[in-house]
Amino acid sequence: MYKIIGADGKEYGPHAADVLKKWLAEGRINAQTKVLPEGATEWKALGEIPELAAAIPAEVAAAPSSFSTGVTPATGQTNGPGIALIVAGSLYLLLACFRFLSTIVGFGFAAAQRSGNPELDRIFAIAGPINLAIGVLTLVLGLVVLFGGIKMRQLKSYGLCMTAAIIAMIPCTFPCCFIGLPIGIWAIVILSKAEVKSQFH
């Protein structure tokens, strides 16, 4: 694994050797690009690293580095939607707690007072378990969205992050679709970018 310094002076990576070889072939980096091998403390020119130097095309060796052109560090792009997913997941959990509390209060009320109407009493008896089941589902969805946001900021578990984004934007699952829909769309747009997806591990 290697870190590199782009033409804009910013640090990128770490990336696998195969990724750097691909960029060499594309002309995005060259022999003069500064690299830092994993575990090392001294930056070196890419051409000084035997593993990478062998992959330098002749026409790329003298070409100026263009690595930074159109490239933004993935962490800079995932932080915003990741935090938004964390907030959305927290709202899910709050809603789940509210459902659990209301169900407990409802059970207590139903046990203390009967309406005298068998049909109405039956509805109350059914509504409690249903509300409890919805609360459990909301809790699970909240945990998925919350951990999806955390993992998105860490560039880990791509599938979980995408699942969290999809859950957040489904109106029937999120307590407020006006909040969840833009958050989910934002996260999916960022996750769909090739330069972001390639840095997940």
d(CA 53, CA 49): 6
- Which of 18-27, 32-41, 101-110 is the least confident region? 101-110
d(CA 139, CA 179): 18
CA 11 to centroid of chain Cα atoms: 21
Q: Is 48 helix (H, G, I), strand (E, B) or coil?
A: helix
pLDDT band at 37; cut points 50, 70, 90 = confident
pLDDT band at 163; cut points 50, 70, 90 = very high
- At 3 the pLDDT is 87
pLDDT at 64 over 50: no
- Which of 42-51, 54-63, 145-154 is the least confident region? 54-63
**Percent of the chain residues past pLDDT 70, beyond the cut:** 73
Paired with 34 in beta bridges are: 5, 45
Q: What is the mean pLDDT of residues 150-157?
A: 90
In the chain, alpha helices (H): 17-26, 50-53, 58-61, 74-112, 118-154, 158-168, 177-191, 194-197
What's the first-to-final CA gap in the chain, in angstroms?
13
- At 89 the pLDDT is 87
Average pLDDT in the chain:
76
Each residue's pLDDT tens digit, 48-59 = 888 787 777 655
Q: What is the mean pLDDT of residues 122-147?
A: 77
Kindly give the pairing relationship between strand 2-5 and strand 11-15.
Answer: antiparallel
d(CA 67, CA 29): 5
Q: What is the mean pLDDT of residues 144-153?
A: 92
pLDDT band at 69; cut points 50, 70, 90 = very low
CB contact set of 25 (below 8 Å; sequence gap of 6+): 55, 57, 60
Residue 45: φ, ψ to 5°: -70, 145
- At 70 the pLDDT is 41
184 closest CA partner among 74, 110, 81, 97: 81
- At 150 the pLDDT is 94
49 closest CA partner among 59, 35, 62, 60: 35
pLDDT at 71 over 50: no
